Amino acid sequence: MIDVRVNGVAHSLEVTPTESAVEVLRDRLQLSGTKYACGSGACGACTVLIDGTPMVSCLLPAHALDGREVTTVEGIGSELHPVQKAFIACDGLQCGFCTPGYIMEGVAFYDEWQREHQGCKPSKEEVAERFSGHLCRCGAYPGMITAIREACSGAYEKEACSSPRQEARAKVTGQARYTVDIIYPEQLEGRILRSPYPHARILHLDYTKALALPGVKSVVELFSKDKTLRYIGQEIAAVAATTREIAQQALKLIDVQYEVQESVTNSLAARKPEAPQVYQFPYGQAPNAGESPLFPSKWKGNMRGPNTFFARQPGKAKRLVQQARQQASPNLLESTWTTQSVSHTAFEPHACVASWSADKTLTVHLSTQSCARMAHEIAKRWHLPLNNVQVLCEYIGGAFGSKIELTAEAIAAIELSLKTQTPVRVVLERDEELAIGGYRPAVTVELALLTGQSGNLEALSIEAYGESGIAIGSLVAGVCQSIYPGAPRNLADYDIVTHTPPGKPFRGPGGPPALWALEQSVDAMACHLKIDPLALREQWNPAPPLQELYSWVKTIPAWKDRASLQTQRGPARRGIGLATGSWLYFLQPGTQVEIKVTRGHLKVQTASQDMGNGTRTMLAQVTAQAFGLSSDQIEVQLGNSQDVPGAASSGSRTTTSFVSAIQDAAQQLQKQLLQIAKQEIHSEDLIVVPGGVASGDTFIPWPEVFAVAPDLSALGKRQKDQRRYQMPFPIKGMQIGSGSSWGVCVSEVEVDLRFGNVRVLRVWGGFAAGKIMVPTLAQNQAYGGILQGIGYALHESRQHDPLTGVMLNTNLTDYHLLGMADTPEIETYFAEQGFEYVAGGAIGLAEITTLPMAASIGNAVYHATGWRPHHLPLQPYEVLAGLSKGRL
């Protein structure tokens, strides 16, 4: 029995020897503001104050709370703390899942700073050191650094602060409730039994012993009809019990007999003719690792492809390259590039709480990127009318592409809840999330670039081999279709399947590995031709938005002066590199939004969701602009599948899908409101003006019209673009529009020749994606894309045991996410012209912001050292090996 005061309230609790403080706070005291994310003390999301000192509650035994005073984010007080206000005002957050941990550390840091250094501002380095025990997967570090420094300097002592993000207050106070925070009375906890083998058949499964364990309520089977398991971690069965610990114990009591089969877990072995085949004809239902539709393709053993959908004159390109090779042309550049696999590892793991009602209606809280589509899939799978299914996701703690499909945590929760007729929660642990929650596949790219005498691009050939485990649909070569148009190009994509978990679409799937190869090859060609790399790119693609970005790059002093770095001496060498990227313009033409007048104000509703990218704020601001109101006067309801079908949060499609739909709804609603106003004041001369209706000297602001109006509603639809779509009809609700987004990243790095460390010091990111609807949030989103790109280039890598294929670094201590101290200075620029034909004027931004980063770092490393890296990530051992072998 322990006695503990939490947020001023005394509790006496019975705890077990190994229970952690975070479990007690979240599950027993239902203080869900404290988040559990990594379980290894690396991310700091669970930080609370113990007698005023910040500690990670995941590694703090519950019994250590005895006699202590605990403060959680809920205990800060009803008034916002200066640190909370600063996080709101500086937009120091995205998905918000890590935010309460930062706030608690911030409160303690602020208090110390006020005692010792009042009136001064801590340096960026001091802040990074103090917050080194916190990680943010979204990469909202720049806003956080500003927020903490400003709060400590005393800039947020006054009452109010403006909030660029609609839900910021809910996130900094811990009030935002994510799927993992949902607790129903009597709710059961589910855990999943997973395959220990990369390839096996289930011969027999007996769970009577598990069911006999006190507290266990039900067991369901999760394996497929063919009883075949194709990767370590594949789901076999799930248990629901009164506690997570009992459910976990019960997994060990499930007796499974396997017929272990020959397996292949690495792609080199999988390509050999004698390798065991992952799929047999007719190749079953391999999941899609990308976000573009799957096209039919040939199989040969474990290789699928080529997919050449985006190639243009591929035969000619191949012939030109072949001729140049025979003639040993100096203008042919051929190389092989490889990239590693990296996990999405959103801080809110895959999670689902399912609850069936007696009348066969189903409520599913799901951390998903598309509540609308999930409701359809659930209705189909469990044979329910769509009206009987409600999928809810008011807040999502990040996703990055890993939460697009209906996956096992949801199936387990729904099945277990059906059997027990009790709500069931299933939440993945961090090791599960890292290993099977989704990853960007490793890729090998063989690239040939041929130029003519004048430096013109004559031919491009890219053959890419994606390693998506049991999944298919790698699109790497294909994403290079539009970046340098004109010349013949052979773009061939292959999948190599293995007995490993399925890769999933990850922020610009295929883009970073493609550009790692292409943009370094272009840089190498520019060096060979002795042409400025920017000038060469300008020559190869004169698209106006891109030219605007290049003009901006030319104004960056560090870029202009980069030649001055040629004379460096000493062990630390700086270099500047540039890379360009482009991305497809995806949209969801069926997107709808409803705007209502209710209880005297405007409410926007749509079955969409906000992963932290800012959809809620964008909906509020576009609505506010249409009415001439301020966005805090608008209420937004997201994350309810029973609202009108909204856009999925994938393929950078939300903003472009919504803007014209909102404008459409606003226009219709304003017509209705105008009629009401006319009747109200008996004037037929009223017209709609910004902020309300007017006639002559009479001006009636909208809120006054809302006050007299009955409840009204208007349905807005995504309008058609003025140019034909690239893909003439939608597949799974998604279509590809005309044109593409553009990105240019310039990186300044420092390479330590002794220790092999690469540090990114400064980044300039310029992006063209049409009209920027919410500049502050767009900038934050760009920071996140850039920082994830740096993490990909330098730190992140799924590490496997070569013999068994087991993933080894399944915690955030060994799986290295970028930290605040690794965050460079970042400047962003948005080129908004050139997308006027798009309904609403904006296309997607999420993916393009991360694509060119790794390649720009590769080019900068070459500039600094004369060694061109071909393999990612640039860990010290890679860099040391490269420098000793390959320095020019």
Partner 1 sequence: MIHFPQTYDEAISAAGELHAGGVDLQERYRRGISAGPLVDLRRLSSLKTITNTEDGSWQIGALVPLAALLRASFCQQVYPGLYQAVTHIATPQIRNVATVGGNLWQHPHCWYYRHPSFNCYRKGGQDCPARNGNHVYSVCFDSGPCIAPHPSTLALAFLAYDASLHFYGEPSRSLLEHFQPEEQNWMHQSPNSHPFCIGVQVPARRKGESASYRRVSGRALADWPLVEALARVQVEQNTIRFARIVIGGVAPVPLRLLRVEEALLGQPARREVVQEAAQLATAQAKPLPGTAYKVQLVQALVTDILQTLLPASEQD
Q: How far is the CB of 286 from partner 1 (least distance, A)?
A: 25
3-state secondary structure 454-468: CCCEEEEEEEEEEEC
Decide whether 501 or 737 has the Cβ nearer to partner 1: 501
Maximum C-alpha span of the chain: 86
Region for 17 from its dihedrals, namely left if φ exceeds 0, alpha if ψ lies in -120 to 50, beta otherwise: alpha
Could you tell me which residues come within 8 angstroms of residue 731 by beta carbon, excluding any fewer than 6 positions away?
293
Q: Which of 35, 130, 373, 718 binds partner 1 (CB under 8 A)?
A: 130
- CA dist 239 → 27, 413, 681 (Å): 19, 9, 65
Q: How far is the CB of 864 from partner 1 (least distance, A)?
A: 17
Q: How far is the CB of 239 from partner 1 (least distance, A)?
A: 16
281 binds partner 1 per the rule CB under 8 A: no
* DSSP per-residue letters across 815-839: S----GGG--EEEEEE--TT-TTST
Q: Which of 54, 349, 614, 844 binds partner 1 (CB under 8 A)?
A: 54
Paired strand residues for 595: 604, 714
Do residues 396 and 95 touch, judged by C-beta distance below 8 A?
Answer: yes
Q: How far is the CB of 822 from partner 1 (least distance, A)?
A: 5
40 binds partner 1 per the rule CB under 8 A: yes
Do residues 531 and 448 touch, judged by C-beta distance below 8 A?
Answer: no
Decide whether 195 or 363 has the Cβ nearer to partner 1: 195
18 binds partner 1 per the rule CB under 8 A: yes
Q: Which of 756, 766, 852, 858 binds partner 1 (CB under 8 A)?
A: 756
Could you tell me which residues come within 8 angstroms of residue 296 by beta carbon, excluding any fewer than 6 positions away?
none
Q: Which of 2, 222, 558, 881 binds partner 1 (CB under 8 A)?
A: 881
Do residues 331 and 325 touch, judged by C-beta distance below 8 A?
Answer: no
814 binds partner 1 per the rule CB under 8 A: yes
- CA dist 761 → 122, 187, 750, 790, 860 (Å): 19, 49, 7, 11, 11
Q: Which of 500, 631, 740, 809 binds partner 1 (CB under 8 A)?
A: 809
Do residues 231 and 195 touch, judged by C-beta distance below 8 A?
Answer: yes
795 binds partner 1 per the rule CB under 8 A: yes
Q: Report which DSSP code applies to 199.
A: S
Name the helix (H) or strand (E) containing 368: none
Number of residues that bind partner 1 (CB under 8 A): 60
Decide whether 247 or 303 has the Cβ nearer to partner 1: 247
Decide whether 194 or 440 has the Cβ nearer to partner 1: 194
Nearest residue to 795 via CA among 342, 430, 401, 139: 342
Do residues 48 and 59 touch, judged by C-beta distance below 8 A?
Answer: no
61 binds partner 1 per the rule CB under 8 A: yes
Decide whether 22 or 597 has the Cβ nearer to partner 1: 22
Q: How far is the CB of 799 from partner 1 (least distance, A)?
A: 6
Q: Which of 323, 722, 813, 833 binds partner 1 (CB under 8 A)?
A: 813
Give the end-to-end CA distance of the chain in Å, rounded to a whole number.
68
800 binds partner 1 per the rule CB under 8 A: yes
610 binds partner 1 per the rule CB under 8 A: no
Q: Binding segment for partner 1 among 48-56, 176-184, 211-219, 370-378 (CB under 8 A)?
A: 48-56
Q: How far is the CB of 117 from partner 1 (least distance, A)?
A: 16
Q: Are strands 601-605 and 634-637 parallel, antiparallel or unpaired?
A: parallel
**Residue position matching structure tokens 């017209």:** 687
Q: How far is the CB of 816 from partner 1 (least distance, A)?
A: 6
431 binds partner 1 per the rule CB under 8 A: yes
Q: Binding segment for partner 1 among 274-282, 289-297, 767-775, 817-825 (CB under 8 A)?
A: 817-825
Q: Binding segment for partner 1 among 318-326, 372-380, 792-800, 847-855 (CB under 8 A)?
A: 792-800
123 binds partner 1 per the rule CB under 8 A: no
- CA dist 594 → 139, 196, 574, 668, 838 (Å): 32, 48, 53, 11, 21
Do residues 804 and 265 touch, judged by C-beta distance below 8 A?
Answer: yes
* DSSP per-residue letters across 286-321: PPB-SSSPPPP--EETTEEEEE-TT-BSHHHHHHHH
Q: Are strands 200-206 and 825-830 parallel, antiparallel or unpaired?
A: unpaired
196 binds partner 1 per the rule CB under 8 A: yes
How far is the C-alpha of 241 from the C-alpha of 703, rounded, in Å?
51
810 binds partner 1 per the rule CB under 8 A: yes
116 binds partner 1 per the rule CB under 8 A: no
570 binds partner 1 per the rule CB under 8 A: yes
Q: Binding segment for partner 1 among 90-98, 265-273, 290-298, 754-762 (CB under 8 A)?
A: 754-762
Residues that bind partner 1 (CB under 8 A): 17-18, 20, 39-42, 44, 47, 53-56, 58-61, 63-64, 105, 128-130, 132-133, 196, 232, 431, 570, 754-757, 759, 794-795, 799-804, 806, 808-811, 813-814, 816, 818-819, 821-822, 875-877, 880-881, 884
